[in-house]
Amino acid sequence: MVDVKRQFTELLSYHDAYKKMKEIVNSWRENAIRDIKLRRILGLESVISISEGVGGFVAEDVKAPFDFPVFNVSGVDGWAVSGEEEGKYRVVGEIMAGDVGKEIKLKAGEACWVATGAKVPAGTVRVVMKEHAEESDGYVWVPAGKRGDNFDRCGDDIRNGELLLRSFDVVRTKDLPILANYGILELRIFRLPVVAFVTGDELLDPRQADEKILKMGMVVDVHSTTLKSLIERMGYSAVIERVKDVKDEFKERVYAKLCEGYRLFVSTGAASVGKKDLVVEVISELGFEKVFHGVRQKPGKPTGLYYNERENAVFLVIPGKPFSATMVMHTFLVPMLKMIRGEVFRFEKARLSESVEVKGKRAEWIPVIIEDDEYEDIVVRPLALKSSLFLSNLFSDGVIYVESGERLSAGEKVIFVKWL
Convert the pLDDT of each residue in 354-375 to its tens digit: 999 999 899 999 999 999 876 6
34: pLDDT confidence band, cut at 50, 70 and 90?
confident
Q: Give the pLDDT mean for 322-349.
A: 92
Residue 27: predicted pLDDT: 93
Q: Report the candidate in 316, 348, 325 with the shortest Cα–Cα distance to residue 219.
A: 325
Answer yes or no: is pLDDT of 7 > 90. Answer: no
Q: Give the pLDDT mean for 160-169.
A: 92
Q: What is the pLDDT of residues 264-304, one digit of tens each?
A: 999 998 776 665 578 899 999 999 999 999 999 998 889 99
Question: Are 199 and 332 in the same domain?
Answer: yes
Question: Are 165 and 103 in the same domain?
Answer: no
Say how far apart CA 249 and CA 252 lie, in whole Å.
Answer: 5
Residue 32: predicted pLDDT: 84
Residue 114: predicted pLDDT: 97
Question: Are 309 and 216 in the same domain?
Answer: yes
SS3 70: coil
Q: Which domain covers residue 39, as residue numbers?
A: 4-44+191-340
Question: Are 123 and 103 in the same domain?
Answer: yes
387: pLDDT confidence band, cut at 50, 70 and 90?
low
Domain boundary, last residue among 130, 152, 174? 152
Transcribe 77-91 into DSSP letters.
SEEEES-SSSEEEEE
Q: Give the pLDDT mean for 4-31.
A: 86
Residue 148: predicted pLDDT: 95
Question: How does the average pLDDT of the chain come out, rounded?
Answer: 88
**Contacts (Cβ under 8 Å, ≥6 apart) of 81:** 89, 106, 110, 111, 124, 125, 126, 127, 128, 140, 142
40: pLDDT confidence band, cut at 50, 70 and 90?
low
Question: Are 13 and 107 in the same domain?
Answer: no
Domains in the chain, number:
4
Task: Determine, yes or no, domain membership for 266.
Answer: yes
Domain boundary, last residue among 127, 152, 177? 152
Residue 42: predicted pLDDT: 44
Transcribe 166-193 into DSSP letters.
-TTPBP-GGGHHHHHHTT--EEEEE--E
419: pLDDT confidence band, cut at 50, 70 and 90?
very high
Task: Determine, yes or no, domain membership for 52.
Answer: no
Lowest mean pLDDT among 84-93, 121-130, 196-205: 196-205
